[in-house]
Amino acid sequence: MRAGGLFRRRETRPDWDVYLASRAREARDSRLVNFFSAGVEALSPDTPIGRVPLAALDLETTGLDAGRHDIVSIGVMPFTLERIRVREGRYWVLSPRRNLSEESVAFHHITHSEVAGAPDLSAILDELLACLSGRLVVVHYRRIERSFLDAAIRERLGESLLFPVIDTMSLEARIYRQSWWARLRRWLGQPAASIRLHESRLRYHLPAYTGHHALVDALATAELLQAQIARHYSWETPIGALWR
């Protein structure tokens, strides 16, 4: 049985199409109105994943708490299940409103001197929204990308920027953490499979990349989703069965 059929019965899916339509009507900032309106037009939950334009998104941050930390870089990689548009990928280093820590510098290698002359997120917001507009966003661990971007937009615009995403980590968890045979492995005392980006890619024989660079990780996430759909789902799987 394919994973989509196994888990669709067990999870309650949010009505993202209803939410997007509501935000398109109620948002005050014209850029957000345009962003949500494009989502209404492009992202029907019944649309097969093979027909939807996608954009992999990755953020590097000053820490892990969206309430206390900020974004230092963003990578966006547009793609479909058929093709990754590498030349159209976008990458920004940003000046965070929270200080860099030694731990974050060691993690993503973005230094104080690099962010000193970098723009604030508000300066590149038009470009970022244009890259994501009308596309279904794909991330690896939505609680970083979605919560940090939402918190940053709330701080700058006073409005929320939530939207549906396909979370490749969540898809791996369904298969390698929540399936009956994954539970059986744990019952037998075998360690749970890692669902981190690098280890997840290894299961599909994808090449190893240097991690914690936002554009490289966006590319890695796009490739991972292509592999997951090819192995566990199909191009006809509706996006409403995948997004979170």
Q: How far apart are CA 89 and CA 219, in angstroms?
A: 8
Q: Are 58 and 145 in contact (CB under 8 A)?
A: yes
Q: How far apart are CA 198 and CA 239, in angstroms?
A: 24
Average pLDDT, stretch 207-224? 95
Per-residue model confidence as pLDDT tens digits over 156-207: 999 999 999 999 999 999 888 655 555 656 655 667 789 999 999 999 999 9
pLDDT higher than threshold 50 for residue 3: no
Q: How far apart are CA 220 and CA 200, in angstroms?
A: 10
Contacts with 16 (C-beta within 8 Å, 6 or more apart), sequence order: 43, 45, 163, 164, 240, 243
CA atoms within 13 A on the CB side of 206: 23
Average pLDDT, the chain: 89
Pick from 7-21, 51-65, 107-121, 130-144: least confident: 7-21
Q: pLDDT class for 73, splitting at 50, 70, 90?
A: very high
The amino acid present at 139, given as its one-letter code, is V
